[in-house]
Amino acid sequence: MGKKRIAVQTEKELLKERETIEAKLRKEVKKTSQKTKEARLYIYSSYNNTILTLTDLKGNVLHWVTAGSIGFKNTKKGTPFAASKAAEAMCTAAEKMNIKKIALIIKGIGTGRESAIRSIANHSFEIISMTDVTPVPHNGCRRPKPRRV
């Protein structure tokens, strides 16, 4: 094993290394601050479950929560209480990501949609917009043929 040698750097090399590290940090802070200020929150509420998905403005998923992932099972997943608990879990995750403004996009006709919206509104987010994108049937299904007797 020989003697241990200590690497000695000159002052110019140290300053150069410091500048590159600081430049990288500035870029990372700039990226995270741009991504984390605004987000979109998609709420999909069916009769059986409530799904909340948090995305950035480009559509990349940042976090998601369902009533089933919190611990509710079977028919209890579709209740308004389960939806409000899922929304609270989503709000805590969004606060950790430093998100200030949220645009809500709501889809579905389940019982949990109103309670999820209320619990999100109670937190310290600025709600930019609320959009309902629930599909509406426009002509219904085809009528049955007349019966031949």
Beta carbons of 102 and 41 less than 8 angstroms apart: yes
Give the pLDDT confidence of 86-129 residue by residue, as tens digits.
999 999 888 888 888 999 999 998 888 899 999 999 988 889 99
Give the pLDDT confidence of 30-83 residue by residue, as tens digits.
555 555 588 999 999 999 999 999 998 888 999 999 998 888 888 888 899 999
Residue 19 banded pLDDT, cuts 50, 70, 90: confident
d(CA 63, CA 97): 10
Beta carbons of 116 and 88 less than 8 angstroms apart: no
Q: Which residue has the tokens 């741009």?
A: 34
CATH code for residues 38-132: 3.30.420.80
